[in-house]
Structure 1
Amino acid sequence: MTQLFPPSGLPGTPEPDSARSPAPQASNAQLAGSGSAQPVRSVQEVSTLIEQSAHDLRSSLNAIQSWAYVLDRAFDTTPAPAQRALDGIRSGMQQQLALIEEMEEGVRLLADEAPPRWQQLDLRTLALQAIADRRHAAEARGVLLSPLSADGSAIWSEAATPSSAPGAAADTADAATYRIDGDAMRLAPLLRHLLVHCIWRAPTGGAVSVHLFSEPDYVKLRITESPPLDSQRSASRLTALTDFFGRRPPQGGETPSRQSSALLLTRRMVEMHGAVLSAESDGCDSDKVSVCIAVRFPRHMRLT
């Protein structure tokens, strides 16, 4: 029988409020004294709403988890069909919890109207961290998340870690190849959300890979999706992504294709960085075309 962690509460028991207690909010008087009461208040109210909604969603999932735990413990040897059903329930719950986490961060970032805090950032280091953060999500879906490729060479996480060993200076110079002006509080989530979007789209047994390319005035990030099972879907996806990234309405009065919340956040964060989103194809064979989402980040922001 599969060993499970005990549920956080009895079946149907809501998640304790203390588990996700929001940070103390400043009073209206304090906000008024700051000289920026309305924007701060708006963001705080949105943040509180997000936290409460996420808490409510987690409470329902905890109840389902509790019942799954009880059912699994009810049998000395769980029948194979029941075990598969319980495994599916647990997998679905993990996916939903991950989506709730992404939703919390995404909506909060979209509501944040604070001006960017520009600094020099190593896109290679941030891409490596995004891959490390989302590797568990890829493994849970049975998706291969390939090592980062920088200008055609595979890069492992240790390569971007500062070191006092011989050759560290050369590595620092190499890291400068992928430096851009960015807002760290927004750029790191941008990469995570874009990566998790491609992971969720990949079928079981598929693969997702991340590539960096150094250009004179830009650093290009490209994420290659796993090829769709139906080759004809590649062309329609390329068109839908191109229209979405370019904010172009569909032709002939067609209904716009729905995109994930991760891509909505990505588009907003990319535009804020002065970067350009595009959809590309990888592969010449019509039955093996992979869709790639590319972002060209300018090395230096043009402040107006």
Structure 2
Amino acid sequence: MLVLDAAQRCLSADAAFAHIFDTGSAGLTGRALTETSLPKPLVAALAEAADAALAGNGIRRAQVSIEEDESTRNFAILALPSNESVTLVVSPCTGASQTQGKAERFAHLRAEASLFMRDHVLSVVSHDLRGPLNAIHSWGYVLERKVDAKDPAAQRALAGIRSGVEQQVKLIEQSVDTTRAETKALALSLAPVAVRSVLDKSVSLAKGSLALQRGVAITVESPLAEEQVEGDAERLTQMLWLMLTFAVEASARDTTVQVASVIEGNMWRTDVRFTASAKALTDASAPHALEAFARRQALEPREGGRIAWAFALCKRVTEAHGGAFEHANIVDGTEVVLSARIAVAGM
């Protein structure tokens, strides 16, 4: 993901974006888009999508092809406007060269996980800010009835309170709620999905993208063979990959992540079991797929049964498929189970 201001100056770039285009986030932040080392066709497409999104105050999509050494890399661009900036999600799409296919698939999965995590955090912020603002608003009316109407200083104070609350509510609605609109209602491409095939593909992706580098094994115990669900194969793959990848990142070298997947009644249930290691999860020298702040936050106690931010995609995908995602507190040295349930019947 890349964030630009209205003047198309780079405010931030995540690790997934930097990985795709073999550049550093530091080399982008603070620079005008045209001053970066990004490929010119990409710069032009990003600039056009950003302008259109900001001008129309709505989501815009685009595609761009980049010619490199007798091969073509194709990317999909998603532009999400906020109040004074635009977030651009760049993902490899069909047509990418076979040599770079694995790396770009990894980058795409990371970008999807980051997008859902961002929207989840914004949702939490929106919810948690409204409670105190409502309380301030209510107490303002209580004070209004108690304060002398002829006291100009008191009336200015009350007006300031009301104005401040209104400004904060407007900011939440315009900058927070609209920014997370892309994943608020998750669109699915439904079709019969062979669950064993999706499971095996996800395990293979997790092994190739991270587990082998970190020296963590993944084992699968499942009687599943030809069973199917009505679902979105790509979203289900992303969900399982994220569960497995987090487990790998949170596991010490030479340990094993265990996967169990069964059909229970009308639910397809997959459990990912591992022993949590805070050191492995936060070790900056080890390869990672998830952002550092998300990995640190996952170790914090869960408030009100909320999921860790890193699992936002898992939660949205399971709920969109009529199921649920669950996990307990992730505590150093303890066994942790990540559990996803998907309805076997149609939505």
Q: What TM-score do the two structures reach when normalised by structure 1?
A: 0.51
Q: Distance in 1 between matches of 2:304 and 2:248?
A: 20
User: 1:101 offset after TM fit, Å?
Assistant: 5.2
Residue 209 of structure 2 corresponds to residue 143 of structure 1: no
User: 1:40 offset after TM fit, Å?
Assistant: 4.3
Which of 36, 60, 65 is 1:41 aligned to? 60
Question: Aligned-pair RMSD on alpha carbons?
Answer: 4.5
Counterpart amino acid of residue 217 in structure 2: L
Residue equivalent to 1:244: 306
The answer to whether the Cα contact below 8 Å between 1:238 and 1:279 also exists between their aligned partners in 2 is no
Residue equivalent to 1:156: none
Distance 1:229-1:106 versus aligned 2 partners, 3 A rule: closer
Counterpart amino acid of residue 236 in structure 2: L
SS in 1 for 2:212: helix
Residue equivalent to 1:77: none
Distance 1:200-1:221 versus aligned 2 partners, 3 A rule: same
Residue equivalent to 1:21: 42
User: 1:191 offset after TM fit, Å?
Assistant: 1.2
Higher helix proportion, which one? Answer: 1
The answer to whether the Cα contact below 8 Å between 2:186 and 2:320 also exists between their aligned partners in 1 is no
User: 1:139 offset after TM fit, Å?
Assistant: 1.6
User: 1:222 offset after TM fit, Å?
Assistant: 0.8
Residue equivalent to 2:136: none
Which string of whole-angstrom CA distances, capped at 9 and with x for unpartnered residues, describes residues 72-125 of structure 1? xxxxxxxxxxxxxxxxxxxxxxxxx99965442224466345632211111211
SS in 1 for 2:203: helix
Residue equivalent to 1:56: none
Q: Distance in 2 between matches of 1:200 and 1:150?
A: 23
User: 1:126 offset after TM fit, Å?
Assistant: 0.8
The answer to whether the Cα contact below 8 Å between 2:194 and 2:229 also exists between their aligned partners in 1 is yes
Q: Distance in 1 between matches of 2:193 and 2:44?
A: 29
Distance 1:225-1:18 versus aligned 2 partners, 3 A rule: same
User: 1:24 offset after TM fit, Å?
Assistant: 4.6
SS in 1 for 2:306: helix
Counterpart amino acid of residue 106 in structure 1: A
Q: Distance in 2 between matches of 1:266 and 1:224?
A: 16
Which string of whole-angstrom CA distances, capped at 9 and with x for unpartnered residues, describes residues 13-45 of structure 1? 7774129927958889x99xxxxx876438831
Counterpart amino acid of residue 60 in structure 2: R
Residue equivalent to 2:170: none
Q: Distance in 2 between matches of 1:123 and 1:220?
A: 10
The answer to whether the Cα contact below 8 Å between 1:143 and 1:202 also exists between their aligned partners in 2 is yes
Distance 1:142-1:266 versus aligned 2 partners, 3 A rule: same
Q: Distance in 1 between matches of 2:278 and 2:49?
A: 54
The answer to whether the Cα contact below 8 Å between 1:242 and 1:279 also exists between their aligned partners in 2 is no
Which of 315, 319, 343 is 1:271 aligned to? 319
Q: Distance in 2 between matches of 1:118 and 1:22?
A: 34
The answer to whether the Cα contact below 8 Å between 2:196 and 2:226 also exists between their aligned partners in 1 is no
SS in 1 for 2:237: helix
Counterpart amino acid of residue 226 in structure 2: A
Residue 132 of structure 2 corresponds to residue 132 of structure 1: no
Q: Distance in 1 between matches of 2:27 and 2:324?
A: 47
How is 1:1-304 mapped onto 2 (pairs within 5 angstroms)? Answer: 16-18=37-39, 21=42, 24=45, 40-41=59-60, 44-46=78-80, 49-51=87-89, 102-108=109-115, 111-112=182-183, 113=185, 115-136=187-208, 137-146=210-219, 148-151=220-223, 175-177=225-227, 179-226=228-275, 228=277, 240=302, 243-245=305-307, 259-261=308-310, 263-279=311-327, 290-302=335-347
The answer to whether the Cα contact below 8 Å between 1:238 and 1:280 also exists between their aligned partners in 2 is no
SS in 2 for 1:140: helix
The answer to whether the Cα contact below 8 Å between 1:190 and 1:266 also exists between their aligned partners in 2 is yes
Identity between Structure 1 and Structure 2 (%): 13
Counterpart amino acid of residue 79 in structure 2: E
Which residues of structure 1 form unaligned runs of 5+? 1-7, 32-36, 53-96, 152-173, 231-235, 246-258, 282-287
Q: Distance in 1 between matches of 2:109 and 2:251?
A: 18
Q: What TM-score do the two structures reach when normalised by structure 2?
A: 0.45
Distance 1:27-1:50 versus aligned 2 partners, 3 A rule: closer
Q: Distance in 2 between matches of 1:204 and 1:19?
A: 41
Higher relative contact order (CA 8 A, sep 6+): 1
Distance 1:120-1:100 versus aligned 2 partners, 3 A rule: closer
Higher strand proportion, which one? Answer: 2
Distance 1:41-1:217 versus aligned 2 partners, 3 A rule: same
Distance 1:291-1:13 versus aligned 2 partners, 3 A rule: closer
